[in-house]
Amino acid sequence: MANILIIYSTTDGHTKNICERLQDVMEQQAHEVTLVSMNDNPQLDLSLFDKIVIGASIRYGKHRPEVVEYINRNAQLLASKPGAFFSVNVTARKPDKNTPETNPYMPKFLKQINWQPNELAVFAGKIDYQRYTFFDRTMIRFIMWMTKGPTDRNAVVDFTDWQAVEKFGKVLGEM
């Protein structure tokens, strides 16, 4: 049994949902899992955990700056433990952009950080137009129109491959 930290950054809450599923899978493997939001700026002692998993959403093609800052600030400790990073973005809804190697955001992100996670994953996110501000709804609908995605202003579409999330959770438990 390992003591595992999952720390996440989310814009609309879907990354947290993915983390909760990962937590469930790893707890079924008899691991103790702590789930913490990076948005709350936690002051955790990372040395208390056996494994560290970081998940972050993307908005307008970028991870939040605090994700990069957090990882770089803790890079030495992160490198000393088994660790994983996953990204959540709607671009990953496309089969040719849903792996760490094929998603356009992962290589850019990895160049910004001073940590090489043992495991990487990319998961497609969720669109929920009704929850967005007017600006975000307008911008995301435009992006979806350009990329042939859903544009109905009332649409709620979860593109996440939950089986892939559960498979990744098992990999993390065995890491």
Are 42 and 97 in contact, with CB atoms under 8 Å apart? Answer: no
Q: What is the pLDDT of residue 140?
A: 85
Mean pLDDT of the chain: 92
Mean pLDDT within 117-131: 94
Over 90: is that where the pLDDT of 39 sits?
Answer: no
Q: What is the pLDDT of residue 67?
A: 93
Closest C-alpha among 137, 131, 136, 135 to residue 151: 137
DSSP H helices, the chain, are 14-28, 65-73, 75-79, 105-112, 134-146, 162-174
Helix (H, G, I), strand (E, B) or coil at 126: strand
Mean pLDDT within 78-106: 94
Over 70: is that where the pLDDT of 42 sits?
Answer: no
Token pair, residue 119, equals 């495991």
Q: What's the pLDDT tens digit per position in 93-109?
A: 999 999 999 999 999 99
What percent of the chain clears pLDDT 70, i.e. is strictly above it?
Answer: 99
Confidence of residue 149 (pLDDT cuts 50, 70, 90): confident
Q: What is the pLDDT of residue 3?
A: 95
Q: What is the pLDDT of residue 6?
A: 96
Over 80: is that where the pLDDT of 74 sits?
Answer: yes
Mean pLDDT within 19-26: 97
Q: What is the pLDDT of residue 28?
A: 95
CA dihedral 97, 123, 6, 25 (to 10 degrees): -130
Confidence of residue 60 (pLDDT cuts 50, 70, 90): confident
Q: Which domains does the chain have, with CATH numbers?
A: 3-125+160-174 (3.40.50.360), 129-158 (no CATH)
